[in-house]
Amino acid sequence: MNNINPKLVNQFIKVCERAAYGASIFKGKNDKIAADQAAVDEMRNELNKIEMKGKIAIGEGEMDEAPMLYIGEKVGKNVGEELDIAVDPLEGTNFTAKNLPNAISVLSVTKKGGLLSAPDTYMEKIAIGPDLPNNVVDLDFSVEKNIKLLSEAKNTVPEKITACILKRSRHDKIINSLNKLKVKIKFISDGDVTGVISVGDPNSPVDIYLGTGGGPEGVLAAAALDCIGGQMQTRLVISDNNEIQKASKLGIKNLKKKYNISDMIKGDVIFCATGVTDGEMVKGIKDQGDFFEASSFILHKSQKLSKKITNKIKK
């Protein structure tokens, strides 16, 4: 198997640490645009220090929408391994602006061609944790059927299942179905990368994630689940001609295709998330004067690496 050089892991951690620090300067300042821009600037600057031929497969948007970290942008020193990179320099711009929990800087890396280039559209998602039979749940099943099948697979009852879902009016029908089944619901207001990953966290009560969120975030979450175990199925939600064009530019022909993790992530993968504000997955940036403390969650599939670390970094 053609794996990513393990020596690159620490460099990708630095990328997320710097991006998180950039965003953290704007914690509670009610300026999500400035927070996002600072994270983008820091992330790009750090990516360009790495000896790699990197390409942004998922980024801030298309070239005409995003001045930096746009889809297709080349990053790195243009020597070494050819890598595809998915980035979300600041997942949770609102959380940062209002100094609320669970803002993170996040990226995932594969060898060239290993990441699904998802357009910046909505995506239906369903995810469950590890050690369950394959294809237990499916986007085309009703909520009732998915919960029933998951309960049986876990040898429990719907009342003891916890579902995570973004609190949005578009999810009212799903929420009504969950309530009728007496499933416990953990609502999140933003940041569904963390929400999806929670199904694979042994310390989390979440059994299933479901609902519609961002496409790029879906691929980032799939990268993490690919390392820690779990199942995920997604499907793009294409609502107009502009989005059809976006998808076709990225080579997506079948707009109704259901993607499993193996369709979104191929080969070896690195995943890294650094906290901007304190959250369930990682702590936020702590400013200590001349330096800052950054807490990160790192996964590297081929090394079977899964760890949380806190580093002190000079400003």
Q: For 85-127, how does the pLDDT look when each residue is reduced to its tens digit (9 = 90+)?
A: 999 999 999 999 999 999 999 999 999 999 998 888 999 999 9
User: pTM, whole model, 2 decimals?
Assistant: 0.96
Is 27:99 a contact under the CB 8 Å cutoff? yes
Q: Rounded to the nearest 5°, which phi and psi values hold at 282?
A: -145, 155
Among the residues of the chain, which ranges form H helices? 9-24, 32-47, 93-97, 143-153, 172-180, 192-197, 215-228, 241-249, 261-264
For 63-71, the CB contacts below 8 A with 24+ separation are 68/40, 68/41, 68/44, 69/40, 69/43, 69/44, 71/117, 71/250
Is 58:220 a contact under the CB 8 Å cutoff? yes
Whole-angstrom Cα distance, residue 53 to residue 315? 27
Averaged pLDDT for residues 161-183: 98
| Higher pLDDT pick, 61 / 149 | 149
Averaged pLDDT for residues 264-275: 98
**DSSP at 155:** T
**309 residue type, one letter:** I
| Higher pLDDT pick, 144 / 1 | 144
Query: How does residue 64 score in pLDDT terms, banded at 50, 70 and 90?
Result: confident
Whole-angstrom Cα distance, residue 100 to residue 27? 9
- Structure tokens belonging to residue 48: 């360009």
Query: How does residue 26 score in pLDDT terms, banded at 50, 70 and 90?
Result: very high
Is 243:200 a contact under the CB 8 Å cutoff? no
- Structure tokens belonging to residue 188: 């999140």
Averaged pLDDT for residues 219-244: 95
Q: Which fold has domain 6-115+268-314?
A: Fructose-1,6-Bisphosphatase; Chain A, domain 1 (3.30.540)
Tell me where in the chain the CATH 3.40.190.90 domain(s) lie.
122-264
| Mean pLDDT over each residue of the chain, to the nearest integer | 96
Q: Does the pLDDT of residue 54 top 90, yes or no?
A: yes
Q: Rounded to the nearest 5°, which phi and psi values hold at 176?
A: -60, -45
pLDDT in the model for residue 1: 60
Q: Does the pLDDT of residue 72 top 70, yes or no?
A: yes
Is 21:294 a contact under the CB 8 Å cutoff? yes
Averaged pLDDT for residues 76-82: 97
Q: Candidates 3.40.50.300, 3.40.190.90, 3.40.50.720, 1.10.3720.10; correct CATH number of 122-264?
A: 3.40.190.90
Is 197:208 a contact under the CB 8 Å cutoff? no
Tell me where in the chain the CATH 3.30.540.10 domain(s) lie.
6-115+268-314
Say how far residue 91 (Cα) sits from the centre of its chain.
8
Is 163:93 a contact under the CB 8 Å cutoff? no
- Structure tokens belonging to residue 118: 């998802």
